[in-house]
Structure 1
Amino acid sequence: MNLDSILASGRAAAEERMRDTVRMYAQAEGTFDRGTGTTTPGAQTTLYTGKARVKAIAASTGQETTAGERELVLREYEVHLPWSTTVPGGRVLPGTRIEVTASSDPRMAGLVLWVTGTAFTDQSTAWRIRTEDRS
């Protein structure tokens, strides 16, 4: 077996483990209306919709932080997409969001994760994206 056939086999196996469905999107900045005191969320641009594997990073215990006047616990997740996935612009920037739309674990549905980083390599079996849950 040559390396290309080994990678093809590994990528097929990795995709078989992708049992979650996600939507990756960019969120434009909202606009604040001083008259009403409300913020209207900006437009969302969908970058990817499809299968994925979402897994908590075992070593992540959650980091407590404050955003505005709200306490947050940041938990890290790794989202695996098919290796062949492409997105407009070719890269996923920090701040992009990934929403779990369906999962075998019903507690995962509706979870919104914020991208913190991505990795690129030609010898990987999946595209791995580092994210955090900011709830």
Structure 2
Amino acid sequence: MTAQDAVMAGRRAAEALMQDTCVIRPIVGEATDPTTGVVTPVYGAPVYEGKCKLQQPKGGYPSNPDAGEHQWTLVPLFLHLPVDGSGSVEVDHHVEMTGSFDPRNVGRVLRIRSSDRKTFATATRFVVEEVAG
């Protein structure tokens, strides 16, 4: 078996574990509500829609940054996507979980913080964070 054959078998196995679905979009601007002054992001067209898997990294613990009098929790996670078809996903894109083996994941919104590109990848693994609070 060649290295390429092993990687392709690994990709099939990795994708078999991707039981969740998500949509990933870039932020293309922001909109301000004229009445409330609340600023919200404006999302572009999806750069990825399809299967994925969430995984918590070993030793990955939430952090609690604060700004002024507001404190929130950042929860680090890994988002696994198929190698084929995820090439347009970049740092700062937003991920919305649209389906999951664990129904509590549906609706979660994550931000891509960094990616993992390598020669013999069986999946593309992104470090993502969920902002809660």
TM-score class normalised by the smaller sequence: 0.7 to 0.9
The 1-side partners of 2:40 and 2:128 are apart by 25
The ranges of structure 1 where at least 4 consecutive aligned residues each deviate by more than 6 angstroms after the TM superposition are none
Q: Which is worse superposed, 110-119 or 60-69?
A: 60-69
Matched residues, number: 132
* TM-score, scaled relative to structure 2: 0.88
Q: In the aligned structure 2, how far is the partner of 1:95 from the partner of 1:70?
A: 22
Secondary structure class of the residue paired with 1:12: helix
Shift of 1:110: 0.5
Deviation at 1:27, TM superposition (A): 1.9
Where 1:45 maps in the other structure, the secondary structure is coil
- Match among 99, 121, 128 for residue 118 of structure 2: 121
Structure 1 range deviating more: 13-22 or 30-39: 30-39
* 2:32 is aligned with 1:29: no
Partner letter of residue 21 of structure 1?
T
Q: Give the secondary-structure state (helix, strand or coil) at the position aligned to 2:48.
A: strand
Query: What displacement does 1:122 show?
Result: 1.4
Structure (1 or 2) with the greater strand fraction: 1
RMSD (CA atoms): 1.9
Structure 2 alignment gaps of length 5 or more: none
SS of aligned partner of 2:120? coil
1:55-101 Cα deviation digits (max 9, x unpaired): 122312200012565321111110110111244xx451x22111111
Greater Cα shift, 26-35 or 97-106: 26-35
Cα 1:15–1:68 change in 2 (3 A) is: farther
Secondary structure at 1:64 match in 2: coil
TM-score, normalised relative to structure 1: 0.87
CA distance in 2, matches of 1:96, 1:68: 26
Contact 1:23/1:49, CA 8 A, preserved across alignment: yes
Unaligned runs of 5+ in 1: none
User: CA shift at 1:120, angstroms?
Assistant: 0.7
